[in-house]
Amino acid sequence: MKKWMILLVLYFLYACQSSTPPVALSAYYWKTHYKLTTVEQSFLQEKEIHKLYIRYCDVGLKNNEPVPIAPIEWREITTLPKEIVPVIYIKNEVFLKPHVDIKDLVQKLKIYVQQINAKAGVQTQHVQFDCDWSLQSKEQFFEFLTEFKKDTQWYLSATIRLHQVKYFKKTGVPPVDHGVLMYYNMGTIAPVDENSIYDRSIAQKYVARLSDYPLHLDVALPIFSWGVQIRDHKVVTVIGGMREQDIRQDTVFKKIQDFTYEITEEYVYKGRLLQKGDRIKIEEVSAKDLQQATKDLSTYIKPREVILYDLDEKNIKYYEQEVFKTIRHGY
C-alpha cells in the first residue's frame, strides 16, 4: 500500500511538473526473428508505442566483401505496429576496408531493405544506421550515408555513442537527419565490479557536452541485461538476457557480493557449460538508474523520442511499469 502511495505521489509530481508534452516512447527489436509474445504486444499497446526500430540485418565482411548477416525473419507480421524503422548495424570492419565500393553497397542495401519490407508488407521512409565508426572508418561511413540519402531520399538517423558526442570535432558528425544517443555500453566488459552497460560516473563525464552537439539527438535507454561469465579473473563470455531473478533461486549460483555469483557445481546454462568456481556478474540497469539517467539527460537535451533497448518480455517484466511513465515525462 505504501509503495502504491509513493508511486502515486511520484506520478502526480511528474504530471504536475511537466509543462511540456511527454516524449514519444518506442523500442528496438533486436532478435533474429520477429514474433511478439502476448506480454510484448500488450506492452506496446499500454505504453502507446506505435513505432518499432527493427534490426533488419548486420553488415559485416565475408571473404573481404560486405554481406548481410543474420537478417530478420518474419514469423508473425500481424503484430507489427504502425511504423517500422529498419535498423542496419554495420560493423566497423566494413568501412575500415580500404576503397569500399560505396555506390554498390548503397544499391545492394537499398534493395535488401526493400525485399525485407516486401516480405512483411511494410513501407519505410526512415532508416537508421548503427555503426561504431572510428577515425579511420569515418570518411567512408559518412560518404556511405550521403550516398544512401541521395539515392533513396529516405529520412536517415544514426546511433551516436557517448565518446562520439564528447569528441565530435574529431570523430565527426554523421550526415543524417538526426542522431540517437546510445546511453549504454559505457564501460568495457571486464572482470571488475563496474557495470559496463550503465555507469553514471562515466556518463557524467560526457553528458555536459550533449548541448554542444550539432545534431538533434533522441535517446536510447537500456532495459537489457546480461551475465558476464568470469573464470580465473578473465571474461569467458557474455550470456545475453541473464538477470538476477533468473538465478537467485538456484542453489548452483551462490551470491558472493552484489550482482556476482559463484558456481557451486558444474552446470549447463542455455548450452553453456559453467564450471565450478566460475563467476557470473549480472549487469542490469535498475529503474532508479533509468530515472536518474533521464534526469541527467534532461538538463542538456530535449529528445522528441526515447527508444528502449530492447523489446523483450523479460526486460519488460523486470521493471515496475511506472518507470516508463517517468521516462516519458522526464524531459
Residue ranges in contact with other proteins by CB under 8 A: 60-63, 65, 67-69, 71, 108, 111-112, 115-116, 119, 167, 169-170, 232, 234, 265-268, 271-273, 275-276
Complex with other proteins: residue 267 or 319, whichever CB lies closer: 267
The 3-class SS string of the chain reads CHHHHHHHHHHHHHHHHCCCCCCEEEEEECCCEECCCHHHHHHHHHCCCCEEEEEEEEEEEECCEEEEECCCEECCCCCCCCEEEEEEEECHHHHHCCCCCHHHHHHHHHHHHHHHHHHHCCCCCEEEEECCCCCCCHHHHHHHHHHHHHHHCCEEEEEECHHHHHCHHHHCCCCCCEEEEECCCCCCCCCCCCCCCCCHHHHHHHHHHHHHCCCCEEEEEECCCEEEEEECCEEEEEEECCCHHHHCCCCCEEEEECCEEEECCCEEECCEEECCCCEEEEECCCHHHHHHHHHHHHCCCCCCEEEEECCCHHHHHHCCCHHHHHHHCCC
To other proteins, the closest distance from the beta carbon of 272 in angstroms equals 7
Complex with other proteins: residue 107 or 298, whichever CB lies closer: 107
Q: Residue 96: how many CA atoms within 13 Å on its side-chain side?
A: 13
Complex with other proteins: residue 231 or 302, whichever CB lies closer: 231
Complex with other proteins: residue 82 or 234, whichever CB lies closer: 234
Complex with other proteins: residue 10 or 235, whichever CB lies closer: 235
To other proteins, the closest distance from the beta carbon of 247 in angstroms equals 16
Complex with other proteins: residue 6 or 273, whichever CB lies closer: 273
CA 227 to CA 199: how far, in whole Å?
Answer: 16
To other proteins, the closest distance from the beta carbon of 57 in angstroms equals 8
To other proteins, the closest distance from the beta carbon of 222 in angstroms equals 26
Complex with other proteins: residue 94 or 197, whichever CB lies closer: 94
Cα torsion angle, 164, 169, 171, 176, sign: positive
Q: Are 224 and 197 in contact (CB under 8 A)?
A: yes
Angle (CA) 240-246-252 rounded to 5° is 105
To other proteins, the closest distance from the beta carbon of 268 in angstroms equals 6
CA distances from 277 to 219, 233, 238, 256, 310 (A): 39, 11, 17, 11, 31
Complex with other proteins: residue 48 or 265, whichever CB lies closer: 265
To other proteins, the closest distance from the beta carbon of 273 in angstroms equals 4
To other proteins, the closest distance from the beta carbon of 239 in angstroms equals 14
To other proteins, the closest distance from the beta carbon of 1 in angstroms equals 45
To other proteins, the closest distance from the beta carbon of 266 in angstroms equals 5
Complex with other proteins: residue 146 or 171, whichever CB lies closer: 171
